[in-house]
Homo-oligomer: A and B are copies of this chain.
């Protein structure tokens, strides 16, 4: 039977989901049914949320786990009375921080994903627009503004990685697909030559690339293992020839790719 897991927040719920999910991966043999109660910022909404939690408890015959980032004590008190394991991500740490910082916490509804840091926020949004503007080899005229220019063969994960770097870190990330002509002749495309210090390569195993491309165009020459092997061998030779640092992303998630590139390319977060 699946254990009910409820994320509750006075704001977006993203923080509660992120840490709650991290904790649950430490108990990955069990199964969960997850549910998020967002924007629980009034007594009325908290009372309704408590009813939802009670219903989960009764219908499942097992206590829900409630991961909370509620800040206001009056709201938290309503939830804490439910039949659940209440895991408190905010209050637990507020008190030691108050002591260390010798400052009382605001204890107001969270704005951690709000617009409090307007400049950093606008930078992130500009970076997202940039990632789209410079996706897949377009927008080369804007490469002066790039923090990093990602290279790789088709379907090696460039686009999601650039979008993640933009959304999360405000990094201006362009991406350029290396195509047959470039990799056959082992030359750097003309438009990339003056940006060598910004280039970062992705690679992947031929087997995984074959699998990904096959989902898109089954039984095509493009997806064949032979073609994948050829392109990757050439592209890695090209990276080495031009001294371009690169990463094998076969077993990596987009979060892992993005954070690894932050380190390897020594990028500084704008946000």
Contact = CB atoms under 8 A, between A and B. Distances in A.
A253 B121 contact: yes
Interface in A22-61: 22-23, 25-30, 38-39
Contact of A12 (B108, B160, B255): B255
A110 B253 CA distance: 13
B13 A259 contact: yes
22 contacts: A3-B101, A12-B258, A14-B168, A22-B90, A23-B93, A23-B94, A23-B97, A25-B110, A26-B90, A26-B105, A26-B106, A26-B108, A29-B103, A38-B262, A85-B96, A87-B97, A92-B92, A114-B252, A125-B157, A125-B160, A125-B254, A160-B167
Among A116, A253, A258, the one with the most B-chain Cβ atoms within 10 Å of its Cβ is: A253
Kindly state the interface size class of chain A when it binds its partner. 35 or more
A2 interface: no
A98 B112 CA distance: 29
A163 interface: yes
Interface in A206-263: 251-256, 258-260, 262-263
Chain A, interface SS category: helix
A146 interface: no
A65 B98 CA distance: 12
Interface stretch (A127-135, A177-185, A192-200): A127-135
Nearest to A11: B256
Nearest to A18: B18
A11 B97 CA distance: 24
A-B pairs with the 8 shortest C-beta distances?
A: A113-B255, A22-B112, A26-B105, A12-B259, A85-B100, A15-B22, A18-B18, A128-B160
A75 to B, nearest CB: 15
B25 A116 contact: yes
A164 interface: yes
A18 B23 contact: no
Contact of A132 (B25, B29, B101, B159): B159
